[in-house]
Homo-oligomer: A and B are copies of this chain.
């Protein structure tokens, strides 16, 4: 069960209202790498994990991320506090309020729809999606997703720090950014505390395809590196002559029977195209054959 203490995990001191900055901060409130996504990622994993220690860690960090959601949400609320009063009380001339909202110092949707409260959207106004949570229920997979998610959250906080000179906001963002580093470290430890962590899952790969590098992008700029060269790799450069990888025909096949077979034949006949001739088309009606080469502009608007 969750409980709540009215103190924030980190004190939020905002110098003055700034709805434009509030909009940017939403990225970590309701954006794909934000705190709700983090909390829900670990929470859904924790509910289904069979390992008691890892389950405990997942719930610890999920709960802390909810606390971070509260911190970033409080930053947004403070930055929007002026807009909230302005828009709700109609406290200034309409034209003046319109200018504030429409010239970039405030965000239209934040003001009009959300009334200055923090919204579960990213900075572009896109609603948070449950699809941001990429838990798959296999710990060696999910921990890698968590490591990546913490890395993404770290970099987004770094960019937010780069765009504000409000010291109180910076301090809180640095705290949040650092905690993502700490969480990444925890998830790294947890991943490597599982002996059999690569390849993830239970099935081994097919040996002949596991160390092949397929050089599909060719031309000036072709390069080598430890990802495609050295003892571990067999690189394929001649694609055409090694295709398909299994040595078969490279064509897809399936066997239909009975009525389906004849229905398919009927479908093929009904929708067959005539490869010969040159039918007149709708475009031809408009512009004659060769339409599109030259655009006829009506004289009266030329």
Kindly identify which residue among B90, B215, B251 contacts A8, using a CB–CB cutoff of 8 Å.
B251
Asked if B136 and A115 sit within 8 Å, CB to CB, the answer is yes
Cβ-closest chain B residue relative to A296: B196
Within 8 Å CB of A15, what residues of B? Answer: 254-255
Asked if A245 and B175 sit within 8 Å, CB to CB, the answer is yes
State in angstroms the CA–CA spacing of A278 and B149 once bound together: 23
- What is the distance, in angstroms, from A145's C-beta to the closest C-beta of chain B? 4
Interface residues of A in 198-236 (CB under 8 A from B): 198-207, 209-228, 230-232
Within 8 Å CB of A272, what residues of B? Answer: 51, 194
Within 8 Å CB of A163, what residues of B? Answer: 87, 94, 97-98, 101, 111-112
Cβ-closest chain B residue relative to A214: B64
- What is the distance, in angstroms, from A49's C-beta to the closest C-beta of chain B? 8
Given contacts A144-B147, A159-B115, A275-B225, contact A16 B254 (CB under 8 A): yes
Asked if B182 and A212 sit within 8 Å, CB to CB, the answer is yes
- What is the distance, in angstroms, from A276's C-beta to the closest C-beta of chain B? 8
State in angstroms the CA–CA spacing of A126 and B198 once bound together: 30
Kindly identify which residue among B102, B138, B161 contacts A115, using a CB–CB cutoff of 8 Å.
B138
Kindly identify which residue among B140, B214, B270 contacts A151, using a CB–CB cutoff of 8 Å.
B140
Asked if B263 and A16 sit within 8 Å, CB to CB, the answer is no
Asked if A108 and B256 sit within 8 Å, CB to CB, the answer is no
- What is the distance, in angstroms, from A265's C-beta to the closest C-beta of chain B? 8
Kindly identify which residue among B24, B95, B227, B255 contacts A193, using a CB–CB cutoff of 8 Å.
B227
Asked if B75 and A134 sit within 8 Å, CB to CB, the answer is no
Asked if B291 and A198 sit within 8 Å, CB to CB, the answer is yes
19 of the cross-chain contacts (CB-CB < 8 Å) are A2-B3, A6-B217, A10-B245, A32-B113, A53-B225, A54-B225, A94-B161, A114-B135, A116-B137, A131-B131, A174-B205, A182-B205, A190-B225, A192-B282, A193-B226, A199-B295, A211-B293, A232-B289, A281-B282
In addition to A2-B64, A56-B221, 11 A-B residue pairs with Cβ atoms within 8 Å of each other are A1-B7, A47-B118, A61-B216, A78-B254, A102-B105, A151-B199, A177-B206, A181-B199, A187-B227, A195-B274, A232-B289
Among all A-B residue pairs, the 6 with the closest Cβ atoms = A115-B137, A124-B125, A7-B250, A204-B295, A11-B248, A120-B130
